[in-house]
Each structure stands twice: as structure tokens, then as C-alpha cells.
Structure 1
Amino acid sequence: MTRPRVTDRARRNRLSRRHRLAADTRATSVVEAAESMVGLHSTTPSTVYLAAWARIDGFTPASMDDALYVDRSLVKQLAMRRTLFVFPRDLLREAVGAVGPRVTASERTNMLRDLRRSEWCTDPGGWIDAARTAVAAELVDGVTLTSSQIRERLPEFNRTVIVSPGKSYGGASPMLPRIINMMSAAGDIVRGPNSAGWHMSRPSWSSMRDWLGEQLDPPDPATAYAAMVRRWLASFGPGTETDLVWWLGSTKAAVRQALAQLDIVEVELDDGSVGYVLADDVVSPDDDDLEPRAILLPELDSTTMGHKIRDFYLGPHGEHIFDRNGNGGQTVWWDGRIVGGWYRDDDTSIRVHLFEKLPAGARRAVDDRANELTTWLGGAQIRPGYPAPFVRGLRGQR
């Protein structure tokens, strides 16, 4: 049978509308924005705020802070690809259930390897379990502590190991922060209050149960994977198996098992590959054309990072935006495609660097949006954690 076809144009239109970037589908709250994106990236502290600014008219950092730290309707969690995301609570359960066991096991394996090489540690597995219990005991009854405070309170576990011996990037590595990362991935503890500004990160840690006021109770991995894949297809689809494996940081086996549990349809994409959509989403009003719009997205934005095979919105510009590890920098979009990047100049203005020539009206719209971002940022000194290759090239020309 001939597969239904979903064109690149239709895919871009879907992303624009479903990712709250189109004028008629803007989000009305930070929770709605995060839900629409199956979580917002937050590895770089400013990213989640700039991602919300791109999707919510009138957005202010205070509304994100309230959701994260006051009513706690959004929660930061280490999840897909060991990346920090901001999730609504229902999505948090699924993310921890699907990704948590895999990341936790990987973190434990890496620690065991390094501890076995350390002369001071005679029982690596027992040491990890004891350290984990000790950290949990410090974070009881609503107590929140920074990583430094935890290390001060647990001197007997504040030990170091040598990683990558003989390498220029090797050296002493403290173990307690790694224990904390493992416990975070497992959903035992969570990033709580941030004592720095919105564009910086200085978190305190809390037990997950105390922070939420209830037990997290994630579903089993198979159920959680199916739920996460369904959400991704509804937001990012159609997409390929390769895209899903990339996005989840998972295995083909896990993705195929999840797809087998869902009512999906295979579709043909413009590059000739096979994509998947939910059965009730083969044809959608979201496929229809919409007015071109200038969009500025931050580094590691969920839209930029949602697919592994990105040509339908990235075109030939990958070398300018993505580094060798697959981290996407700050992007300029026009008519649903990446057409350039942006950066903050020394005078705190937002500057645009286009990778292709745009019509005069489009260029004016891009410049107007850059000016809006300059005004919105004010004096905030945002610093990219993963500068795009084009930014490094510009710096080399100065």
C-alpha cells in the first residue's frame, strides 16, 4: 500500500503551531508552553526563560520563577540524553519512569568503574549505596541544601577519584556531586530554590517527595516510554525512529516497543524516509500554510533539538549552528526554517547573523524581533553555555 505523504512544508507548519511559535497558537502560561514541547530544555539556565519568551506574549521571568519555586507546577529534572529539562508534574512522572532507570544505571556504572581504580575504596557498590543513603538523610523534613553544603555535612563521603588518568582533561573528580546527579536522575531528589538570578543557576537540593508534597510514583518503564513517545509524536511528529532514539537518548529496542503499543501510521517524508504519526493525526489543520514569522530561539531550544534528521527545517546550515556533540546554538527562524543565528554583542544589543539572503520585509521583521529581545533582556548578562560555531567564527574575526 502507498503510504500517505507529509511534506516538509506541512511538517514545518505543524512545528510552528504546536510549538506555540505561530501568532494564533501562542501559549498562555509557562505550564502550557512546557506541556506543548514535552518539556523545555534547561541545561543552560537562561534557555528555559528565553524559550518561554519566544512562545508567550508578555512573558516575564517572575512567572517562570513562580511555577518553578512557588507553586511548583514545573520541576527541573535530569532526563533525556542526561539533559536538564523543565517538566509539568504529569510529564515529570513519565520522564522519570522512562528515562530515570537508564540514566541512573549508567551513572552508577561510571562511578563503579572509577571507584574500582581508587586505592581508598574497597567496596565500590557499598560505598555508593551508603553515600546515597547519607545524602537522603540530610534532605528530610523539607530541608534544602546546596551541593557544597552537602559536601560539608558529609566529610566522610566527600572523597575524590582520578578520572581519565594521563589525559589533559583528566584529574581529581569529587564523588558526592556525582551521587547527587544519580539521585536526581532516579527522582529521589530535585533541584529546589535557586539563589542566583534567572539567567544563572545556584540551586539547593530537596527530596522529591518534600518538594512536590506527595510521592512521585512514576509508571513502569515500558508504560512511561509509550507515553513519552505518544507525546513526542503529537508535538514533533511526523518523525522517524532515528529521531525518537536521538530525542529520548534511548535504544532502538525501547523505541520500537513503545511504537508497538501505540496506534500509529507510517507516512512518507519528502526525503524518502519513513516517518510515524498518530493514527488520528495523518492529516491535520496544522498542516495549512501560515503567515511567515520571525522567531529567535535560545541555544538547546526544544524545537531546534527535537529531531536528529533536521534538514526539513535546518537546510544546509547545520555546520553553523550545531557543535560536534550535537548541541544547537541560538537560532533565527523565518517561515518555519532556521535562516541564521543571534548573539549578544558587547554593548548588550542582540545581533543577527544570517546564513542566507532574506527579502527586505523578512529582514526587517527579524531585526524588529532582535530589538524586542534586546529591550526585554535589559541589562541581564546572559552567557551561552554552548556557543554555536558561527559565533566562534565571528569572534575570530574581531
Structure 2
Amino acid sequence: MHGISDAQRRSRLVRRHLLAPSVRAASAESVTDSVVALHATDAATVFLSVCARLSEASVGAVERALYEDVSLVRLLSMRNTLFTVSSGLAPYVDAANARAVAAKERRTFLKHLRDDGNGLDAHWLAETEKETLATLTARGSATGSELSAAVPALRTKITVFPGKKQETVQGVATRVIRVLAADGLIRRDRPRGSWTSSQFRWTAAEPWPAREPAAARAELALRWLRSYGPATEADLKWWTGWGLGQVRQALEVAGAEEVRLDSGATGWVSPGDTEPEPTLEPWAALLPALDPSAMGWADRGFHLPVEYRAALFDRAGNIGPTVWWNGRIVGGWAQRADGELVWRLLTDVGREATTAIEAEASRLSGWVGETRITPRFRTPLERELTV
């Protein structure tokens, strides 16, 4: 069995994730395809992840791709998490993950409606969705609050988990909008605030062309291996949220090849992808919370020492902003309330690395400008740095 070392895995990561200056991309779409999907739970992550990999960082370029060209789209998909993918990949992600997520979202919401005991059912939901879509189509775009003001049914309140410890009264507007978005009937449009805002407007959309789910999973697995391989079955299972049987079927259909990792585990690569990766120039990067280069594997041991996890992750397993040097995570960074960018190294990386990190921090500060960034998921080190 061919072996691929941890050093080679780091070389692959830098080139394929466009992290060194010599391999940065010219477009937001190229960046997104290079990492397959961008975490979008925190709106700022998409912009920070893309601009870290662009030859010339540009908020405007990302906004155009998201809201004008719609060449980048947000989908509730892998692990029931919001991701941004290219429009070319979207039909495969939709069939491989988002359809199942949408069906579960609808089942869960209908159960809450039944449990409320006020006669709300699938027919009520269908009529409410129809009126919401008609209103949104007529307006062009609207916020959730604007839709609630225009559609009386969206102002309905229900009791969730009645009779249980977690019983609470909730409005249905957010759930109706979430179901419509999961079904691909509406999409997120420009937010009310800056590019860091998650207060999105909504606009009508067309569902994605149908793809056969097993074939779509194989296509998604193949693209993921090209960006993240070698990786284990456990890594792909974690990243996608698929069952182990689906993972193994996708790897087989994709023609994935087995390799041996330094840990002794069996890894997988895309067909024929076993040749050594040329080493690039020394490089540093400041990547945001939930960046795909840090969140792409279940086992990150080849680029993240286990002793750093307590400082860099929250209790739910979300990684915060990270500092990288030559393929390894070596620290974390944060932005203070006055806009100052600060970082802390968790190991001694030497003068060359420190100089390169300072240059990247200056680059990041330059394009962020007056914008203030606070990650949605706060980690111990990020909190310490902002005090």
C-alpha cells in the first residue's frame, strides 16, 4: 500500500486550499471549489475564508458571487449545517445531503404543530408556505420580520415540547422560512447590515435540478478527496454526516484508492492521486473560526497538536480563529473592540514565521478596515485575546 506522510498531507493542504501566496486564486468561486464548501453558520466566515485565499482580498467580489451572480449559494446540508458552495456543485450537495435535511426539518416542524394541539397541520403549513412565497415573489426580497408583518399566519405562536422541562412558546415564522429555504424555494439575499450580519433578506428561488442521491454522494466524496485526501472513512463520515454504509459506497463508486497514513490508519485518495506534492514557499495564514482547512477532518492530528485543542475549540467542537505556519496551526487570533488585531502563538516558531504572521495580520487588517468581527462561537483563546 502506498504511504503518504503527515508532511505530505500538509504540502497537499497548502496547495489545494490555496493558502500560500503563490497559489492564491483570482475569484471567490475558485476559492470555494478548492475547499468544496465554506462553513456559513457565521456570515463573516465565508468572507474571511475566501479573502484569505484571494490574490487581492475583496468583500465586493464575494458579495457579487453571493447576491448578484448567485454563483455561490448557501445550503443547509452536511451535518445539518449551513454551508456555502458553488452553484455548479449545489445540485450534488442538494441530492447528497440537503434533501434528507429538508425532509427531517419538515417532519420535525409538523410534529411541533401537531403537539401544539390547535389544529395546525400539513394543510395549514402548505397554505402558509404558499402565501409566504407569493408575498416574497411580489416584493422581490424581504426580511423575516417584513414577511411576518405581511403574512398573518406567520405571526402564529405554538407551544414546543408541551408538558416537558424544555417547554417554550415560539413563533412559527423562523421555522416556516427555514423549511422553505431547506426545500430550495427561497434563498438568503443581502443582509440588512454589513457583510458580517446574519440578518438576511430572503428572495424566491428555483429548486436545484434533481440528481440521483448515491451518484451525488460519490461526486461529493470525489471532490472532497481531491481537496482533503488522504483522509479516513471516519473523516468523510464526520464531514458529510452520512452513515458508514453510505461513506463506503461513495468511496467505492468514486474509485477511491487506499493509502497508508503515518498514524498507521488507512486513508483514501482520489483515483491516481498518490504522487508527492511539491513543496511551496514558506507561508503564514490567519484563518477565521470554522475555516474549512481546520474543520475538514475528524482527526486533525497531522496539522493540529492535541494540546492546543482546549484553547482553540469551544465545547461543541467549533474551532476559533487560527494562526498557521507552513501547514500547522500554531496559535490563534482575535480582533479587539477598537479594531486592533491581536494573536498569540502556542509554540516558538522563530523569527521568519513571526515576520510572516505579522505581514498576514497587516494584510487582514487592511481589507477588513473599520469592520468589527466577533465569532459566533467564542473559544477560550479568542476570548482571552479580546480582554
- Shorter-normalised TM range: over 0.9
SS class of match (1:332): strand
Query: Which amino acid in the other structure matches residue 64 of structure 2?
Result: D
Alignment RMSD, CA only? 2.0
Q: TM-score under structure 1 normalisation?
A: 0.91
Structure 1 pair 168–336 and aligned structure 2 pair: CA distance change class (3 A): farther
The equivalent of 2:248 in structure 1 is 256
In structure 1, what is the equivalent of residue 259 of structure 2?
A: 267
2:280 matched residue in structure 1: 290
Tell me, in whole angstroms, the C-alpha distance in 1 between the residues paired with 2:148 and 2:337.
37
Whether 2:357 is the aligned partner of 1:366: answer yes
Give SS of 2:91's match.
helix
- In the alignment, the residues of structure 1 paired with residue 363 and residue 165 of structure 2 have an alpha-carbon distance, to the nearest angstrom, of 43
Decide whether aligned partners of structure 1 residues 256 and 124 sit closer, same or farther in structure 2, where only a CA change above 3 A counts: farther
Q: Aligned to 2:122, which of 125, 139, 152? A: 125
Partner-residue secondary structure (3-state), 1:139: helix
Q: Which of 107, 110, 133 pairs up with 1:136? A: 133
Tell me the residue number matched to 1:45. Answer: 43
| Residues 8 and 269 in structure 1, CA contact (< 8 A), matched pair in contact too | yes
Is 1:235 the counterpart of 2:227 in the alignment?
yes
Matching of residue 340 in structure 1 with residue 331 in structure 2: yes
1:1-398 to structure 2, matched below 5 A, reads: 3-120=1-118, 122-140=119-137, 143-163=140-160, 171-209=168-206, 216-284=208-276, 287-316=277-306, 317-394=308-385
SS of 1:313's equivalent in the other structure is coil
Contact 1:263–1:279 (8 Å) recurs in 2: yes
| Gap regions ≥5 residues in structure 2 | none
* Cα offset, 1:201, TM superposition: 2.8
Q: Identify the range of structure 1 (328-337 vs 370-379) with the bigger mean alpha-carbon deviation.
A: 370-379
> % of aligned pairs identical?
36
Q: Deviations over 1:61-103 (max 9, x none)?
A: 1111111122222222222122222222111111111112211
1:168 CA drift (Å): 8.3
User: How far has the Cα of 1:118 moved from its partner?
Assistant: 0.8
Q: Tell me by how many angstroms 1:150 deviates.
A: 1.7
* 3-state SS of 1:314 partner: coil
Residue 152 of structure 1 deviates from its aligned partner by 1.7
Deviation at 1:109, TM superposition (A): 2.6
Q: Distance in 1 between matches of 2:75 and 2:302?
A: 30
2:14 and 2:110 mapped to 1: Cα distance? 44
- Measure the CA separation in 2 of the matches of 1:25 and 1:90: 22
CA separation in 2, counterparts of 1:391 and 1:255? 34
Question: How many pairs does the alignment contain?
Answer: 386
Whether the 8 Å contact between 2:289 and 2:320 is mirrored in structure 1 is yes
More displaced 10-residue stretch of structure 1: 354-363 or 75-84: 75-84
* Change beyond 3 A, Cα 1:165–1:356: farther
CA offset digits 1:236-256 (Å, max 9, x no partner): 111111111111122222222
Opposite residue 84 of structure 1, the aligned amino acid is: L
Does the 8 Å contact 1:352/1:367 carry over to 2?
A: no
Residue 257 to residue 384, structure 1, CA distance change in 2 (3 Å): same
Show structure 1 runs of 5+ residues with no match.
210-214
Matched-pair contact (CA < 8 Å) for 1:11–1:238: yes
Cα shift readout 1:92-122 (whole Å, capped 9, x = no counterpart)? 11111111221112212321332232131x3
- Work out the CA distance in 1 between the residues paired with 2:260 and 2:163: 50
Residues 320 and 388, structure 1, Cα contact 8 Å, conserved in 2: yes
Tell me how far apart the structure 1 counterparts of residues 243 and 75 of structure 2 sit (CA, whole Å). 20
Please tell me whether the aligned partners of residues 208 and 216 of structure 1 are also in contact (alpha carbons under 8 angstroms): no
What is the Cα deviation at residue 170 of structure 1? 5.6
Aligned-residue offset at 1:271: 1.1
Alpha carbons 2:116, 2:162 under 8 Å: kept: no
1:96–1:186 CA contact under 8 A, matched in 2: no
Q: SS of 1:296's equivalent? A: strand
SS in 2 for 1:218: coil
Partner of 1:212: none
- Per-residue CA shift, 1:355-378, capped at 9, x if unaligned? 112112212221222122222222
Which is worse superposed, 11-20 or 312-321? 312-321
